[in-house]
Amino acid sequence: MKKLFLAAVCMMAISFVYAGDPSNVDEKVLKAFKENFSDVKNPQWYEHDNNFTVRFVRNNIDTRITYNSDANIIRTMRYYEAKYLPAFILGKVTDKYAGKSVFGVTESTTDAGVEYYITLQDDKNWMVVVSDANGSMRVNKKFKKA
């Protein structure tokens, strides 16, 4: 299972072309980013499938924003600790999955809405629960700890 996960991560990394130098990023995209995130220091840019993704850390939240060639945001991904989850969602998770702790959260936002991928753990297992903004939850994956 670990090898499969590592292979998937490597394939994702290979699918991105590093465009770290902002001069390689479409000017419309840079302008749109700077208008909304002027306080971000040292953003890292990647080009893939005619889109641009910028990665940065702000307020202890690792963020990735993907823009299309028209400088429209098509997806945001945020990675953070349980304390940054909306209180409503965190309360539902802790009630429904008592005995498990939140390891981390991946928040995905698209035109379709927001989904929270919440990684839970206990002594023997990992579990990924997906929640929408209304608190509707389902188990996405389960793993045994090695």
Distance (Å, whole) CA 64 – CA 75: 8
- pLDDT for the residue numbered 14: 43
Q: pLDDT 10s per residue in the chain (146 long)? A: 444 444 444 444 444 444 455 667 889 999 999 999 999 999 999 998 889 999 999 999 999 999 999 999 999 999 999 999 999 999 999 999 999 999 999 999 999 999 999 999 999 999 999 999 999 999 999 999 98
Whole-prediction pTM:
0.82
- Does an H or E element contain 125, and which? strand 125-132
Q: List domains and CATH numbers for the chain.
A: 1-74 (3.10.450), 81-146 (3.10.450)
